[in-house]
Amino acid sequence: MKLADLVRRIVELGHLPDGNDITVIRWSIENNIEESFAEFIQAVKEDDLRAMEVKGKDQQGVPVKELENSQFFIGLANSYTQIGSFDKAVKMFEEMLRKGSNESTLLNDYGVALLNQILATKVVKKENIDLARKLIFDAFAFDKKVSAEWYHYPAYKNLCFLRAIEGTYYNEQKDSFAAFLLGWMSIEMTLYRIWHQFLTLKSATGIDDLMRWDSDSIIEVLYLGEVGEELKRTRSDLEMFKKTKTDLDTLKGVRNHLLHGDIDNPTSGQSTHCINTALKLVPLFQSVNQDLELAKEEKDAARV
């Protein structure tokens, strides 16, 4: 069944006011009709695949293939992820990939669904981590081709998430050294992502030079940093970051002891602490652009 036909049937069945993607997806999720999910999968199989080019940062075309209704299917799969129906989300992403779609959003969101499934269920399967790694790295490679601002794109943030989840795998294998190393790698990658966002927000000059600062200096400056009152979510995220300062200082101490040969291995507790801290940091500073847009809208509205 083609998606357009399926949407019309859902609108009639649910007496919906319109066939808007959000309306249809919300109704489908809330009613959780198994037959509808099977029909959505069939709609993916019958959807048209189109080849197109996205202009890269060097102005060269970057080829990509996507489904005609890709936005709807990705939105539906992400909605399944949000309610913990990971099997359905993964199956939908898998079917889109099998159909031939290779757009960055699909690759990234599919990889994240796998990572969230691991985090939620505590079932750490190496094959799922390996697949998530490939998907997210492929999305990241695409982002780097099309934009110099790849630090702000979801795939880089999710590479940080990936490293923390990889750390949980090695923790289960009783390899606290690898677990700690991956957890700390996630922390440092996240620090540089937040730092880049913070510098951009402050309209700093010489960002490339400032991005060469070491992680210790970045932690101290962010701890002392401030953002405007109008950036509510970003301000909250910065306060959350500051609450991890003690954790970061403790983990830096473990890192230094390892580097100087004072200890041979971190303890299991230290590696777990490192991974948990990494997971706290990963979601921060993701709403900067939304905050800026909302602040602008409120400012414009105040002028009227």
d(CA 144, CA 155): 10
Instruction: Write down which residue in 148, 177, 201 finishes a domain.
Output: 148
Closest CA to 198 of 57, 105, 298, 292: 292
The answer to whether residues 233 and 180 belong to one domain is yes
Instruction: Write down which residue in 118, 148, 178 finishes a domain.
Output: 148
The answer to whether residues 93 and 226 belong to one domain is no
**How would DSSP label each residue in 44-60?**
HHHSPEEEEEEE-TTS-
d(CA 224, CA 180): 27
Tokens found for residue 164: 């923390």
Task: Count up the domains in the chain and report the number.
Answer: 2
The answer to whether residues 6 and 144 belong to one domain is yes
Virtual torsion, Cα 219, 225, 231, 234, nearest 10 deg: 10
- SS3 call for 63: strand
The answer to whether residues 212 and 282 belong to one domain is yes
Instruction: Write down which residue in 103, 119, 148 finishes a domain.
Output: 148
Which CATH number do you get for residue 87? 1.25.40.10
What pLDDT digit, counting tens, does each position of 61-115 carry? 888 999 999 999 999 999 999 999 999 999 999 999 999 999 999 999 999 999 9
What pLDDT digit, counting tens, does each position of 233-249 carry? 999 999 999 999 999 99
- SS3 call for 130: helix
The answer to whether residues 153 and 293 belong to one domain is yes
d(CA 295, CA 298): 5
The answer to whether residues 164 and 304 belong to one domain is yes
What's the pLDDT at 265? 94
The answer to whether residues 182 and 260 belong to one domain is yes
Give the CB-side neighbour count of residue 293, counting CA atoms within 13 A. 4
**Beta-sheet strands, E only, within the chain:** 49-55, 61-67
The answer to whether residues 140 and 1 belong to one domain is yes
The answer to whether residues 133 and 174 belong to one domain is no
The boundaries of the domain holding residue 303 are 149-304
The answer to whether residues 114 and 97 belong to one domain is yes
Is residue 304 scored above 60 in pLDDT? Answer: no
